[in-house]
Structure 1
Amino acid sequence: MTLRSERQADFAYQAVYRYMINLINEVSTDTRVKLPSLRQLAARLNVSISTIQYAYSLLEKEGRVYSVAKSGYYAWPMSANPMAWMGGDLLDRLYAAARRPDMLVLSGDEPALLGALDATLLRLERELVRQYPGHLQPWSQPCGVWELRAALAARYTSSPTHCWHADDVYIGADVRGVLDILIEVLGLRGTAVVVESPCDWLILRLLQGAGVRVIELPWTAQGRLDSAALERLLREEPVHLVMLSSTVSLPSGVAMQVEDRLDVAQRLNQYGCWLLENDSLGELSLDAAPAPLRDLVNPERLIVFSSFEKTLGSEAPYGYLLSRRMGRELQRQFLLRSFRLSSIRQRAIARLYHSGRIDQHLVALREHLRAQALQMSQRLTQHLGGQVTYQMPRAGATFWLASTRAVDMRKVFQQMLVRQVVIAPGELFSVSGLHHQHLRLSHTFPGQPNLDIALIALSEALRQAKTG
């Protein structure tokens, strides 16, 4: 294979992705539309089925398409009439609205929007294509290229006890693909799993879809985790695994206090329970973060997962996990998935770590996030006044707001859609009816002229949606 064709193969999914975006945007009906099958698209575009599958997985993660078992992929309907979005699943409606190009989407959590490394990655790739010609590439690296796995292992090592090696690291297409594998390897179907609440809706839907019994452990209004409640669950319920954030909880943006962290770690160790640590925002803490939870628990009962997307941007969508145990089964499951991952892109990310450029980038990104959060806080005070309460986020790109009066948050959501603004109602972050008086708002909109108008509209929507 020539250098030119090697590079074309590495980035074929990007061309497929752009083609699919254009195809999906042509859908303008109020009903779902079936998209071409993997084989049809592969034949039409003259690429491999795995390339088509990877492009579809990205589109599904973004909420542009959804899959139906034994049927195929469908595009969400994109009605021009906001009132047509009133029925159906709330998350489906949010995704459908966010697809529209004329909407101000304030529902996401994308820190890298303030400073992605797309241009840097592409420049490094041009250098690496010359360094790694096609005939020197290994045929298959189902768990990711060694350079990146070694870089991550070194970064997560903190002591002789809590140390990692390249063979403990597994890289997949995205976080969803990685979590799918964990559900299989850990045998979570039909078991009980404790998750902090509020919790990312992608994770909740994934666990529910796999038949996992999700037990929510809510954060208190004071930003504390009830370790006594956790102890009761571990003692009285057949809990297979506990999933918690490493330093800062999503989407509430609060950091577990040191004494709570030590108490939780002690209880997990006492009951021999697995910890699945969500490290998605581990490197974006705006303050000096204490030791992550993973450094306090038994490393033999620990799995860490994260992705590069929150810090590097959409050109680095890969998810990854670290685990000392079940290596043979993890390798088998990654091999079965046959993730199509650009080896050059992975090496470019590894070079960011080895050169120290990732740390420079993180310092700048954290400063941008801190400044943007402060500006958003001033706007919230100005436009929402006593209508909401919140804590300043300790990481990430969102505010977790609580209404000071009882409101119908679904009505607020619908009224904001009419004003061409998408917010995320709090109930999306629970499976047991929690957080109905909350909503999540993004603050990564530097220089956005419509943000003040949107917050004024939100203030009015909150007033009109009062229920008491």
Structure 2
Amino acid sequence: MSLRGERQADFAYQAVYRYMISLINQVSTDARVKLPSLRQLAGRLNVSISTIQYAYSLLEKEGRVYSVAKSGYYAWPLSVSPSAWAGGDLLDRLYAAARRPGMLVLSGDEPALLASLDSSLLRLERELVRHYPHPLQPWSQPCGVWELRAALAARYTTSPTRCWHADEVYIGADLRGVLDILIEVLGLRGTTVIVESPCDWLILRLFQDAGVHLIELPWTPDGHLDMATLDQLLRDEPVHLVLLSSAVSLPSGVAMSISERLGVAQLLEQYGCWLLENDTFGELGFKGAQAPLRELVNPERLIVFSSFEKVLGAEAPFGYLLSRRMSSELQRQFLLRSFRLSSIRQRAIARLYQSGRIDQHLRALRQQLREQAAEMGQRLDQHLGDQVTYRAPAAGATFWLGCTRPVDMRQVFQRLLTEHVVMAPGELFSVSGLHRQHLRISHTFEGQTNLDIALAALSDALRQAQMG
């Protein structure tokens, strides 16, 4: 089988994806099944290895396959009993459970589930294909198509001194790929990095796997950064950079005050430290636009990363970063990765920005998220009462719950699986054993009856898992 000529090169990964879905459906059994290697599939389908890698990454994100280091990709077994999830890596167990049929998944964090722009993207793609029937330099722009890079640069520019140019924007296949490049370019292996805590598990695992020494800076129970501890760490430790959110820290859902942002900026300047800013949820704050941390720090020691997926939906998985420095090394690493990104889709995303459609969408999405969070807060009070504490989130699609009594959260997780409910234990958001009395649940739910049943099951699980 060859995909050349079957579809335009821009859409090769979509054809590979469909082929892989068909293959997985054919080979899936009650036992795990190893899938063909990247090289085997590239040869079979006559496409590049990077195109196969991209299709596999989409399948892995959807929970259809999983990877084993130095072994390859495997299809998940068709039937896995809850008892089989009792051992092994907690994150792997969560991913496995979340993709089983019939599970109510409260562990995710997908704001765009409430309102995505997938249909708008696909419509724009069709229009672009009609106007430009031939491939638009599909592989000659390894850092992303110029049109989208320019649109992002314009969006992040706020003044003559806080300005960005298209050649300072880099677009990759997904957030994981962009962060991998950052780890390499910044030479983070073996260095010390301060990260806010709780922190997204994707970021934590990537840094851990790269041999980065992570120092966690927990948010205080009343929702503030411990500035004295940050000062001491920057003074006493060989900190390479600090990783913080642009405005709202998730999953904690805490918005950094302006005084805290000013304090952080002053400390970073005092110690000459780099800021790696996570802007993934920067435009999803419920109170509208807030001055991000990047507006206050030295732009010469700043790197911003984000992705389109949280705002646009699953059809826009690309990750991106902005940096004024290390341009030659960043270009080299993006060229070496050879991301085979759809230029048509990138141009379609650019058109959404240029037309103002993104801003219209964000206003509606923020409103829906705010209303959904308010409704979830009422349900948490109704079903969990004094079993948990929480702060109303300031952004995003999740609640960060703390238990008022000591519980074995892994036992809670396991009990809920038997009730076909998946939640995210707090320990996943730490590398040093923090947040064991916390959990994250999503409020972008569908079906009120199922949610009531799930929260009642969570209440029972918390009660049964109490310690002491």
- TM tier, smaller: over 0.9
Q: Which runs of no fewer than 5 residues in structure 2 stay unpaired? A: none
Q: Does 1:189 align with 2:194?
A: no
The answer to which of 312-321 and 444-453 deviates more is: 444-453
Map of 1:312 onto structure 2: 312
- In 2 relative to 1, CA 151–206 (structure 1 residues): closer, same or farther, beyond 3 Å? same
Map of 2:28 onto structure 1: 27
- Counterparts of residues 25-104 of structure 1 (less than 5 Å): 26-29=27-30, 32-77=32-77, 79-104=79-104
Distance 2:456 2:180 in 1: 41
Distance 2:261 2:135 in 1: 49
8 Å contact 1:64–1:95 — kept in the other structure? no
Distance 1:84 1:138 in 2: 45
The answer to which of 92-101 and 319-328 deviates more is: 92-101
- The aligned amino acid for 2:277 is E
The offset of 1:418, in angstroms, is: 0.4
Normalization by structure 1: what TM-score?
0.96
Q: Match of 2:224, SS?
A: coil
8 Å contact 2:311–2:362 — kept in the other structure? yes
Q: Match of 1:384, SS?
A: helix
Distance 1:183 1:59 in 2: 24
- Counterparts of residues 49-448 of structure 1 (less than 5 Å): 49-77=49-77, 79-134=79-134, 136-137=136-137, 139-448=139-448
8 Å contact 2:8–2:135 — kept in the other structure? no
The offset of 1:185, in angstroms, is: 0.2
The answer to which of 408-417 and 447-456 deviates more is: 447-456
8 Å contact 1:7–1:129 — kept in the other structure? no
Q: Match of 1:427, SS?
A: helix
Distance 2:62 2:288 in 1: 32
- In 2 relative to 1, CA 464–78 (structure 1 residues): closer, same or farther, beyond 3 Å? farther
Residues 379-428 of structure 1 show CA distances to partners (whole Å, capped at 9, x for unaligned) of 11111111111011111100000011110000000000000111000000
The offset of 1:53, in angstroms, is: 1.2
8 Å contact 1:372–1:446 — kept in the other structure? no
The offset of 1:63, in angstroms, is: 4.5
8 Å contact 1:253–1:399 — kept in the other structure? yes
Residues 17-38 of structure 1 show CA distances to partners (whole Å, capped at 9, x for unaligned) of 23334544553435x4321111
8 Å contact 1:78–1:97 — kept in the other structure? no
Q: Match of 2:231, SS?
A: helix
Residues 302-343 of structure 1 show CA distances to partners (whole Å, capped at 9, x for unaligned) of 000000000000000000000000000000000000001000
Distance 2:387 2:190 in 1: 41
8 Å contact 1:426–1:435 — kept in the other structure? yes
- What is the aligned residue count? 464
Q: Match of 2:454, SS?
A: helix
Distance 2:62 2:220 in 1: 30
Q: Match of 2:170, SS?
A: strand
Residues 253-301 of structure 1 show CA distances to partners (whole Å, capped at 9, x for unaligned) of 1101111111011101111101000000001100134310000000000
The offset of 1:61, in angstroms, is: 3.6
Q: Match of 1:112, SS?
A: helix
- In 2 relative to 1, CA 244–164 (structure 1 residues): closer, same or farther, beyond 3 Å? same
The offset of 1:132, in angstroms, is: 2.2
Residues 215-243 of structure 1 show CA distances to partners (whole Å, capped at 9, x for unaligned) of 00000000001111111110000000100
Distance 2:409 2:73 in 1: 31
- In 2 relative to 1, CA 437–86 (structure 1 residues): closer, same or farther, beyond 3 Å? same
- In 2 relative to 1, CA 139–307 (structure 1 residues): closer, same or farther, beyond 3 Å? closer
- The aligned amino acid for 2:313 is G
Distance 1:298 1:376 in 2: 39
8 Å contact 1:6–1:134 — kept in the other structure? no
Distance 1:16 1:7 in 2: 11
Distance 2:252 2:165 in 1: 32
- The aligned amino acid for 1:29 is D
The answer to which of 332-341 and 129-138 deviates more is: 129-138
The answer to which of 54-63 and 72-81 deviates more is: 72-81
The answer to which of 343-352 and 157-166 deviates more is: 157-166
8 Å contact 2:193–2:214 — kept in the other structure? yes
Over the aligned positions, Cα root-mean-square deviation in angstroms equals: 1.7
Q: Match of 2:254, SS?
A: coil
Q: Match of 2:249, SS?
A: coil
Residues 129-188 of structure 1 show CA distances to partners (whole Å, capped at 9, x for unaligned) of 122232553641100000000000000011111110000000000000000000000000
- The aligned amino acid for 2:454 is A
Q: Aligned residues: percent identity?
A: 80
Distance 2:213 2:78 in 1: 33
Residues 200-226 of structure 1 show CA distances to partners (whole Å, capped at 9, x for unaligned) of 000000000000001000000000011
8 Å contact 2:409–2:436 — kept in the other structure? yes
Normalization by structure 2: what TM-score?
0.96
8 Å contact 1:253–1:392 — kept in the other structure? yes
8 Å contact 1:247–1:292 — kept in the other structure? yes
8 Å contact 1:66–1:73 — kept in the other structure? yes
Distance 2:434 2:281 in 1: 23
Q: Match of 1:315, SS?
A: coil
Q: Which runs of no fewer than 5 residues in structure 1 stay unpaired? A: none
Distance 2:355 2:56 in 1: 33
The offset of 1:62, in angstroms, is: 4.0
The offset of 1:7, in angstroms, is: 5.2
8 Å contact 2:138–2:343 — kept in the other structure? no
Distance 1:71 1:420 in 2: 30
The offset of 1:56, in angstroms, is: 1.1
The offset of 1:76, in angstroms, is: 4.3
- The aligned amino acid for 1:246 is S
Residues 69-90 of structure 1 show CA distances to partners (whole Å, capped at 9, x for unaligned) of 4432233455431001100010
Residues 329-388 of structure 1 show CA distances to partners (whole Å, capped at 9, x for unaligned) of 000000000001000000000000000000000000001101111111111111111111
Residues 40-98 of structure 1 show CA distances to partners (whole Å, capped at 9, x for unaligned) of 22344443332211111223344543434443223345543100110001001101111
